[in-house]
């Protein structure tokens, strides 16, 4: 569901059908987030290009931690759940991830992980509050300026995507209801997970 009319999965054609098909091939269904972009598939293509450029230069775990921190700061259930699921599937046990998502400052993370999550949170909440000292703190922990750019880019890019989905009422997919109870609750920081069954291309 969203607040705007989108191209129905059952009648999608042309570029929209291709867009739906690519997402279905990855997830097994057509996610709600991509339906929002069915009115402007070229915008989604531009987003995907930006995302590839940002993510392709970062360690995968760091990218996911940064994105989770930004998504939670933005109150985006959709992005928090999506990237939390990646972290659970690839890097952390559910209980450990629930602690990280609940309060990364007290979780069992190394100082650099906590610092990049704090920086991502600050960028998402109030980028104008970032100071030279904040950046120097990351540098002191061993990040190069290029790596600091990557963290800022990942957090800033998340602002676009999370805000687009929430502005247009995209609900997190029902698949996220399969996440463990405590983890699911911790990752749901805004809109509730939809109860509608996922849709698939015929």
Q: What domains are defined for the chain?
A: 58-187 (1.20.1290.10)
Q: Which of 157, 145, 20 is nearest to 83 (CA)?
A: 157
Distance CA 82, CA 71 (A): 10
* Percentage of the chain modeled with pLDDT above 70: 100
Q: Is the pLDDT of residue 153 over 90?
A: yes
pLDDT band per the 50, 70, 90 thresholds, residue 1: confident
Per residue in 179-192, pLDDT tens? 999 999 999 999 99
183 Cβ neighbours under 8 A, 6+ residues apart: 84, 88, 94, 95, 97, 98, 101
Per residue in 77-134, pLDDT tens? 999 999 999 999 999 999 999 999 999 999 999 999 999 999 999 999 999 999 999 9
142-155: burial string, b at 16+ Cβ within 10 Å, e else: ebeeebbebbbbbb
Distance CA 15, CA 163 (A): 24
> In this predicted structure, what is the pLDDT of residue 184?
98
Distance CA 14, CA 26 (A): 19
> In this predicted structure, what is the pLDDT of residue 27?
96
> In this predicted structure, what is the pLDDT of residue 89?
97
Q: What is the pTM of this model?
A: 0.95
Distance CA 121, CA 116 (A): 9
* Percentage of the chain modeled with pLDDT above 90: 99
Q: Is the pLDDT of residue 152 over 90?
A: yes
Distance CA 103, CA 117 (A): 10
- The average pLDDT across 52-69 equals 97
Mean of all residue pLDDT scores within the chain: 97
> In this predicted structure, what is the pLDDT of residue 136?
98
Distance CA 4, CA 166 (A): 12
Distance CA 136, CA 142 (A): 10
Distance CA 121, CA 143 (A): 17
> Which two three-digit tokens encode residue 137?
């703190």
> In this predicted structure, what is the pLDDT of residue 133?
98
Q: Is the pLDDT of residue 143 over 90?
A: yes
């Amino acid at each position: 569901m969203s607040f705007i009319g989108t191209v129905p999965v059952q009648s999608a054609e042309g570029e929209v059908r291709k867009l739906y098909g690519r997402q279905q091939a990855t997830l097994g269904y057509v996610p709600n987030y991509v339906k929002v972009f069915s009115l402007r598939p070229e915008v989604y293509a531009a987003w995907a290009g930006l995302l590839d450029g940002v993510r392709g230069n970062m360690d995968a775990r760091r990218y996911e931690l940064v994105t989770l921190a930004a998504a939670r700061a933005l109150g985006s259930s959709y992005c928090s759940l999506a990237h939390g699921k990646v972290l659970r599937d690839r890097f952390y046990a559910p209980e450990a991830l629930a602690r990280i998502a609940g309060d990364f400052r007290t979780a069992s993370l190394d100082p650099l992980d906590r610092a990049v999550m704090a920086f991502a949170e600050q960028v998402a909440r109030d980028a104008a509050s970032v100071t030279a000292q904040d950046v120097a703190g990351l540098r002191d922990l061993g990040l190069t300026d290029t790596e600091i750019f990557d963290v800022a880019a990942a957090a800033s890019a998340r602002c676009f995507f999370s805000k687009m989905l929430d502005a247009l009422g995209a609900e997190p997919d029902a698949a996220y209801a399969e996440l463990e109870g405590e983890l699911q609750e911790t990752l749901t920081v805004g809109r509730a997970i939809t109860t509608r069954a996922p849709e698939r291309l015929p």
